[in-house]
Amino acid sequence: MIRALAIVGVAVLALPVLASELILPAGVQFLSERQSPLARYALPTGPAAGDIVPVQHFEGQVLRRTWRLTGQTSAMQLFSPMRQQVQDAGYEVLYQCQARECGGFDFRFGIEVVPAPDMTVDIGDFLFLSATKGDSQALSVLVSRSGNTTYIQVIEVAPASSDPIEIAPLEAGVEVSASDQPRQTDEVSLMEALTSNGRVVLEGLEFETGSARLGTGPFDNLTKLAEVLAASPEMRISLVGHTDNVGDQDKNTTLSRQRANAVRERLLKQFEIDGARIETAGVGYMAPLTSNLTASGRDANRRVEAVLLSQ
């Protein structure tokens, strides 16, 4: 493990996890923490087959955390020593893969990923592993390189009856906020949000309940997206539909894809965008922005996102 860490060429920072300590390079910036005292996590156990990623469900305390490291460190340089540490902590690796062999786009949107800007995944440059310890503990590690930044996501599950999760403070000077990451606001354009985060939620779209029929509009964000595409003729995107967790996943996946197709058709017909530049996909309820336990959460999770493929 010492040899693997030496590849990174920096000092290390100890960050407590549920069952062990993960050692990450100094300079890693903590971005987010989402803790659920009692929740269900779908641990991926194999590559995507079409729109479906095989999973094993675990219930208990779920902790989701993300970090980033800016510089020349590759995804593999971070992933390899982390994998060794997971095994040293007594976990059995169930599945590990890299980008295309995981299933690429389908895998990325078929697993749980913390929303941008706290986690960014380049579908051509990411590594993933899932592991278990006994019958009640599970862990997944997702590492992706985007631009000059490498992002890390760790999701862990422990028994609900165990002691509360304690997170030790980070070293002085380490960032604890992602507020410097561009977001789509009145001050930040859709173009900036899309190119910085790799995706953006097309807020304000209206669909009939349980239907893929897109309202008449006008929709400001759709107009802005059309303007971005017109100004960048080489840009390619994918429109990805999402639903809440009400109902069957197969039906939700179909509905989310149909809604993405409806947005694509509007861009083609109303704004005369070349259809070859816009792909579509639907992932149902597999990538929520927030909890589906509240009405407001379910409303936020029903959305269509534009994902940047090339520029």
Residues 6 and 88 placed together within one structural domain of the fold: yes
- Residue 165: inside a domain: no
- Residue 105: inside a domain: yes
pLDDT tens for 40-78 read 899 999 999 877 899 999 999 899 999 988 888 888 888
Binned at pLDDT 50, 70 and 90, residue 21 comes out as: low
Residues 151 and 251 placed together within one structural domain of the fold: no
Residues 115 and 226 placed together within one structural domain of the fold: no
Cα gap 267→247, rounded to integer Å: 29
Residue 87 has pLDDT above 50, yes or no: yes
Domain containing residue 265: CATH number: 3.30.1330.60
Q: Which residues contact 55 (CB under 8 A, 6 or more apart)?
A: 42, 43, 44, 45
Residues 144 and 222 placed together within one structural domain of the fold: no
* Entry field: residues in the chain: 311
**For the whole model, what pTM was predicted?**
0.53
Q: Which of 158, 143, 4 is nearest to 84 (CA)?
A: 4
- Residue 32: inside a domain: yes
Alpha carbon 9 to its chain's center? 28
Residues 28 and 121 placed together within one structural domain of the fold: yes
**Under 8 Å between Cβ of 285 and 243:** yes
pLDDT tens for 178-235 read 333 334 444 357 887 787 777 888 988 888 777 888 988 888 889 999 999 999 999 9
Q: Which domain holds residue 102?
A: 2-158
